[in-house]
Amino acid sequence: MRALKAVRRLIADKEDTVQVFEIMRALAGKATPNGFRRLLSTPEGGRIAYERDEFAMRLSDKTWLAGFGPGTVGAAYRDFIAPRGLSAEGLADESRKIPDTDIDAAHPLAWYGRRLRDVHDVWHVLTGYGTDALGEVCVVAFSYAQTRSLGFAAIALAGAREFGRARNGEPYGAAIREAWRNGKAAAWLPAVDYPALFALPLDEARRSLGLAPNALYQRIPPDRRDRLAPATAA
């Protein structure tokens, strides 16, 4: 019931980021412990988990971000967040508004949860999806394929249902399914060494991670990725 109410509030206002964390909290299941165990099984995962880098702190360091040259992942991230007024710390603050959250706990599983939270906008950059309504749903569908978290699944399904009501001829559902398939086919992004990745050219990073183009999303006009305009609209 908690998740359903949060989904309804999120549909009513896609900018209400707190509801995303409500849904993720209510439908956490075993995704976090399973993901953490998988991280430890990867070649670099043990080191990453041992170091427990708080990535939000790096992403909030303007001097660190300014050091990445044109064309790199770091520069693309910098250029992505600046005009949108986004910040890793702002996202972290939203996650702390959940009454019973343990997101800041000194625990390996809480750290892993923070890691997934902090890379959300990085995944936008890597996958090429914008922050319009459709772009957010596509990133969530991609994230479900990567993490198997039922919270992501619930948000993606609710978003797909809303876009399905548009009936304006745009391939919304196909674009969301493409995002999910791309997430399944890509390398497992929770295990990526992100500070090292930020120094790579964006195109090289996408190739090395097996990130396929989001062709169907790009086919939809930008003004219809947010506004569910009927087919007869001007």
Structure confidence by residue, pLDDT tens digits, 180-231 = 999 999 999 999 999 999 999 999 999 999 999 999 999 999 999 986 544 4
For residues 7 and 157, give the distance between their C-alpha atoms in angstroms, rounded to a whole number.
10
User: If you average pLDDT over residues 59-83, what whole number do you get?
Assistant: 97
Q: What's the confidence (pLDDT) of residue 232?
A: 35
User: If you average pLDDT over residues 77-86, what whole number do you get?
Assistant: 96
In sequence order, what are the residues at sequence separation of 6 or more whose Cβ sits closer than 8 angstroms to the Cβ of residue 47? none
pLDDT digits (tens, 9 = 90+) for 124-182: 999 999 999 999 999 999 999 999 999 999 999 999 999 999 888 999 999 999 999 99
For residues 208 and 215, give the distance between their C-alpha atoms in angstroms, rounded to a whole number.
19
Full 3-state SS string of 170-200 = CCHHHHHHHHHHHHHHCCCHHHCCHHHHCCC
Cβ atoms within 10 Å, residue 79: 12
For residue 40, is pLDDT > 50?
Answer: yes
Q: What's the confidence (pLDDT) of residue 227?
A: 63
In sequence order, what are the residues at sequence separation of 6 or more whose Cβ sits closer than 8 angstroms to the Cβ of residue 72? 198, 199, 200, 201, 202
Residue in this structure with the two tokens 């165990």, named with its chain if needed = 37
| CA-to-CA separations, 100 to 26, 27, 93, 103, 125, in angstroms, rounded | 10, 14, 14, 9, 31
Q: What's the confidence (pLDDT) of residue 233?
A: 34
CB-based contact 81:121 (threshold 8 Å): yes
Q: What's the confidence (pLDDT) of residue 228?
A: 52
Percent of residues, the chain, with pLDDT higher than 70: 96
For residues 115 and 74, give the distance between their C-alpha atoms in angstroms, rounded to a whole number.
17
**Terminal C-alpha separation, the chain:** 39
Please, which pLDDT band fits residue 31 given cuts at 50, 70 and 90?
Answer: very high
**Is pLDDT larger for residue 199 or for residue 9?**
199
For residue 65, is pLDDT > 60?
Answer: yes
Strands (DSSP E) contained in the chain are: none
Query: Average pLDDT of the chain?
Result: 93
For residue 234, is pLDDT > 50?
Answer: no
Measure CA 10 to chain center.
Answer: 16
Q: Could you give the maximum distance between any two Cα atoms of the chain, in Å? A: 56
Residue in this structure with the two tokens 């500070």, named with its chain if needed = 195
User: If you average pLDDT over residues 13-41, what whole number do you get?
Assistant: 92
Q: What's the confidence (pLDDT) of residue 3?
A: 76
For residues 193 and 206, give the distance between their C-alpha atoms in angstroms, rounded to a whole number.
14
